[in-house]
Amino acid sequence: MSGTNRADPRPLSPHLQIWRPHATMFASITHRITGMGLYFGTFLIAAWLIALATGPEAYAQAEAVISGVPAQVILFVWTVAVLFHFAGGIRFLLWDGPHAGFKPKTASAVSVFLYVFAVLGSVAIWAAVLWL
């Protein structure tokens, strides 16, 4: 656009600086961020599998790292990201297939639900894993 073109002396009107974000906008960017997180998370799964294939000593080391607090925090955030991206993906299917959920109010409500679902779902999964 002209505003980013040096030959054009006219200013570019403010965009993110003035925008009042919508729930759908937040959910969209979160879907992308969680998607990228899951992409890089796959390398961690690969590392864990490699440790498993290498032998008992390597696997024991990997297990020691995983049971540490930082890794547990990463695993929890990972759970949230999986659930968010999963539910968001189903929403994309509903959008693109039956074209459902396009009303702005519905879309905003579903966006809020995605966050609630991802966080509460992760807490439930972790509670189940720790107690059972």
Indicate whether 73 belongs to the interface with other proteins (CB under 8 A). no
Q: Which of 18, 128, 129, 132 binds other proteins (CB under 8 A)?
A: 18
Contact range with other proteins by CB under 8 A, out of 25-33, 47-55, 60-68, 113-121: 25-33
Cβ 23 to other proteins, closest distance in Å?
Answer: 9
Q: Which of 42, 55, 96, 129 binds other proteins (CB under 8 A)?
A: 96
How far is 35 from 42, CA to CA, in rounded Å? Answer: 11
Three-state DSSP class for residue 32? helix
End-to-end CA distance of the chain: 57
| 81: nearest Cα among 110, 122, 26 | 122
Indicate whether 107 belongs to the interface with other proteins (CB under 8 A). yes
Contact range with other proteins by CB under 8 A, out of 5-13, 58-66, 112-120, 123-131: 5-13
Contact 76, 122 (CB under 8 A): yes
Indicate whether 19 belongs to the interface with other proteins (CB under 8 A). yes
The one-letter amino acid code at 79 reads: T
Indicate whether 90 belongs to the interface with other proteins (CB under 8 A). no
Contact 119, 77 (CB under 8 A): no
